[in-house]
Each structure stands twice: as C-alpha cells, then as structure tokens.
Amino acid sequence: MKNLSIFFVCTFCIVQALTAQTTDTDAFFIRKIYDNALTRGRCYPWLEYLCKRIGGRLSGSPQASAAVEYTRQMLDTMDLDKVWLQPCTVPRWTRGDREVVRIVNSRKMGSVDLKALALGNSVGTGPGGLSAEVVEVLSLDELEKLGEANLRGKIVFFNRPLDPTQLNTFAAYGGAVDQRGLGATRAARFGALGVLVRSMTTALDDAPHTGALRYEDGVPAIPAFGISTNDAERLSALLKEEPVRVYMRSTCMMLDPVVSYNVIGEITGSEKPEEIILVGGHLDSWDVGEGAHDDGAGCVQAMDVLQVLKRSGYRPKRTIRCVLFMNEENGLVGGATYREESDKKKEFHLAAIESDRGGFTPRGFTCEGEASVFEKYFKRVSRWLPLIEPYGLHLKPGGSGADISGLKAQKGLLFGFEPDSQRYFDYHHAPTDVLETVNRRELEMGVAAITSWVYLLDKYGLD
C-alpha cells in the first residue's frame, strides 16, 4: 500500500511538471506571435490599400471586384497551400445621385437641408422626389398604435436612440436597429410615403449612417433615409413646436444580381487536415466610407494570422483557413454560400473566428456552439485563459459573427473576436469609416490575439 501511494505521488508530480513545461512552452510561443505581429505584420499596409486605393466595396460594385482580386493576389504571395475564389451570386444596389432631405418652409427655421443617406436596398423616390408631413415615433409598437388614420400620406421619423446606459455598445445597437431594418415596411403597411431613421450611433454628430433595410413581399416598398443624430435632435425639437414638412429625393435602385466571390486561402494541416479552423471577416463594405473598421480591419487581420503563423515557424496540425466573405452588409450571400458548400463536402469546422467589430484594442473573445457540445468544449478552451489574460484578453459566452453562425450545426465552436466597442458605432456604416480612424498598433494587437487563439485551438483541439 505504501509503495502504491508513492507511485501515485510520483505520477502526480511528473504530470504537474509536464503541465508546467507545456504551459511555459505555450507562453513563450505566444510571446513570439506577438513579437512577429507587432514588428513584421502586414495588416496595416493591406488595409491602407483597401481603403485608399479601392475604397468603399459594396457587393456587386467594381470596387468589390477590385478588392477580391487584390486580396487573392496578397494571399497568393504568402506561399499558402491553397488559394481560391468561391463564386456567389450577390444582390446589387446603387445609391445614385446625392440624396436630398430638406425641412421645407418651417415658420421657425425656413428651409433647411438635413444630412442624410439612403438606407441600403432602399427604393428611390423618383426624380421628382416627394414631400409630406412628418410623424415622429420611438418604436415599432408606437407605430402600430398610431395606425393608418395617423400615418397615411406621411413621412414616419423613427427617433429611438441607442441606449447610452448599455456598457456594451453592440447591445445598445441591437436594441435600436429594428427601426432601421423593419421601419420602412411597417410604416408602408399604414400608407406612409417614406421613412427617416435616426442614425445607429451613440455619438451626437453630423455624420449620417446607412445600413440595410428589408422589404416584405406584398407590402409597398417606400424610400428610407438615415439622418445624422444632430439633425434627428433638431427635427424632434422642431416637431414639438410646429408641424413639419420634409422634402426627400433619391435615385437609388436595385440592379440585376451579379457573380462575385468569397476569397479563401489555407494552410493544410500536417496531422488532422480534415479539422478546419477558420478565421475571417467580410470583404464588402458600404459605399459611403472606406470600410476601414467595417470590415477591412477584420479581413486584413484574418489574412495576417496566416502570415504570422508562417513567420513564427509554426506548422499547424489542423487546416487553418482564411475566408473573406462577400455581401455581409446587404444580403449575407457569401456566408450562406460558404456554409452550403462546406456542408456538401461534409467538412468539419473545429472552430471558426470572425473579426467584424472594428480594429480597436483587443479585449477577448465571445463564444457559442451547438447546445449538445457547447458546455464541454467551452470548459476545455477556458483552461487556456491564463495564457491570454496577461494580454488583457477574456473569454465569455456570447455570439460569434453573421457569416460563420451557420457553421454551428457542424458542432465545433464559434468565436467572435471582441475589441473595445466604445468607438465602433461612431464610424459604423458612415462616411467617417476611414483609414485615419484605425490605430496601427491596435490593429496589429488584434492579429496577435487571434493568432494566439488559433495556435491554442490547433495545438490542443477540443477533445
């Protein structure tokens, strides 16, 4: 009995020593990843080219095509095992002439132009524009209560702000964005002629924000515009003093769909190539800015993950795949196409990481998975927290990303890369989303954080 006790004690000590050695090895390698990302990373010059040489990359546009070819070529220079384009047929919307939204003949203000952008996928007003009295509402429920008697022939102004008490600005966005996505269709049911929507940002400024809306079959499609938060405040204050009439004009329209592409590159796994770890972002962006934070940052970070792994001398056990998705902003066709093709091939994504929350200071990762496996796998990856906490990173349950969420059925883990969120909606879908708002070091720190997590997922798997 005494000898057996000694055996167990010795075995425990050996296991502890091996565990400590493994942890030290991982810590040193993660430090190496950070050093490479911060001194030899390529993410920022890639982003500079996307922003300054190509610009806004709305799906189906010449700029989107240029971005596909540029990123394919960049991946092709990295000595990857495979680089390819995956075709997908995407919707095509064009903004047309510069929008006009104008308060007309106010007793207090006279005629005043508001800073406005047509919402994505919106129909136009026609070349002559339209003019009507404005009715303000704060919610879709309030709209329903007003009904046709109060809304027919009017322009509905949705003015619910993002909740400033939400510490997570994505939660604030989620609590307000229904008025942008559904407002036009709901208002049209009651005979409204058009819609104005307060921009989806926590800031009070003069930059209008666009973003997609959805029309419903059988309901008339009416034009919809986002207006700046400062103009939303002015319009709301004026409505408390007098009836307000607004003239609006836009020539935006949907065109025939066209073929575009997801851009994909991978390092094939040396031991378990059938297990895929995906890193990605969406290559398309709105046309009004440069798509720097949304989502050029996520794309170049995903590309740089492969480059940093190779420069760090690491040979992955599993297949590491970079996917730049097309058409996240106004259709999600790229993500749906990727998932369908993956399922047809019976692929298994052990993990997928999406970066689509801007290029700000890394805070960690959120994680989700199919219910039957999530608890077990989440406990497994939580053991690695001591290795990333020194870099200010956390791991918590939550969402992942719009383009990868459909992969949940493959029963791996899905992660959303989470930078600091406080400034993101200042730039989201706005003309202010330009390269100058991206800090190079913060962007590179994001690459290092994602690469470190990919390294741990690849080395240890989920078993």
Question: Strand pairing partners for 106?
Answer: 110
Do 189 and 283 share a structural domain?
A: no
Q: Which SS3 state, helix, strand or coil, does residue 401 take?
A: coil
Last-in-domain residue among 236, 251, 266: 251
Q: How far is CA 388 from CA 364, 394, 441, 454, in A?
A: 9, 7, 18, 12
Question: How many domains is the chain partitioned into structurally?
Answer: 2
Query: Does one domain contain both 362 and 428?
Result: yes
Residues 335, 433 within the same domain: yes
Q: Do 236 and 271 reside in the same domain of the chain?
A: no
Show Cβ contacts of residue 390 under 8 Å, excluding neighbours closer than 6 positions.
none
Question: Does any domain span residue 4?
Answer: no
Domain that holds residue 110: 96-251
* 53 and 140 share one domain: no
Residues 105 and 165 in one domain: yes
Asked if residue 245 lies in contact with residue 104, where contact means CB atoms within 8 angstroms, the answer is yes
- Residue 39 has what pLDDT? 97
In terms of C-beta density within 10 A (0-12 exposed, 13-18 middle, 19 or more buried), how is residue 112 classed? Answer: middle
The active-site residue out of 99, 266, 290, 328 is: 328
Residue 24 lies in a domain: no
Residue at which a domain ends, from 232, 251, 270? 251
* Residues 263, 164 share a domain: no
Do both 117 and 230 map to the same domain? yes
Sign of CA dihedral 421, 234, 206, 327: positive
21 token code pair: 């050695």
Q: Which residue in the block uniquely carries the two structure tokens 């036009």?
A: 184
Q: What is the CATH number of the domain that holds 81?
A: 3.40.630.10
Which of residues 229, 251, 273 is at a domain's end? 251
Do residues 166 and 173 lie in contact, with contact meaning Cβ atoms separated by under 8 Å? no
Provide the residue-wise pLDDT of the chain in tens; the chain has 463 residues: 444 344 333 433 433 433 444 588 999 999 999 999 999 999 999 999 999 999 999 999 999 999 999 999 999 999 999 999 999 999 999 999 999 999 999 999 999 999 999 999 999 999 999 999 999 999 999 999 999 999 999 999 999 999 999 999 999 999 999 999 999 999 999 999 999 999 999 999 999 999 999 999 999 999 999 999 999 999 999 999 999 999 999 999 999 999 999 999 999 999 999 999 999 999 999 999 999 999 999 999 999 999 999 999 999 999 999 999 999 999 999 999 999 999 999 999 999 999 999 999 999 999 999 999 999 999 999 999 999 999 999 999 999 999 999 999 999 999 999 999 999 999 999 999 999 999 999 999 999 999 999 999 999 999 8
Could you tell me which residues come within 8 angstroms of residue 24 by beta carbon, excluding any fewer than 6 positions away? Answer: none
Same domain, 284 and 427: yes
The tokens for 336 are 């749906």
Q: What is the DSSP string of 188-256?
A: HTTT--EEEEE-S-SS-SS-----B----TTS----EEEE-HHHHHHHHHHHTTS--EEEEE---EEEE
**247 lies in the same domain as 263:** no
Establish if 390 belongs to a structural domain.
yes
Give dist(CA 349, CA 261) in Å, integer: 20
Task: Evaluate whether residue 422 is within a structural domain.
Answer: yes
**Residue 328 is among the residues annotated as catalytic for this protein:** yes
Separation CA 100–CA 122 (nearest Å): 14
Would you say residue 26 lies in a domain? no
Is 6 within a domain?
no
Q: Is residue 411 part of a domain?
A: yes
Whether residue 227 contacts residue 116, with contact meaning beta carbons closer than 8 Å, is answered with yes
> For residue 37, is it within any domain?
yes
What pLDDT is stored for residue 23 in this prediction? 81
DSSP symbols for 56-90: ---TTSHHHHHHHHHHHHHHHTTT-SEEEEEEEEE
Q: 438 and 295, same structural domain?
A: yes
What are 75's two structure tokens?
């991946």
Residue 204, domain CATH = 3.50.30.30
222 with 331, same domain: the answer is no
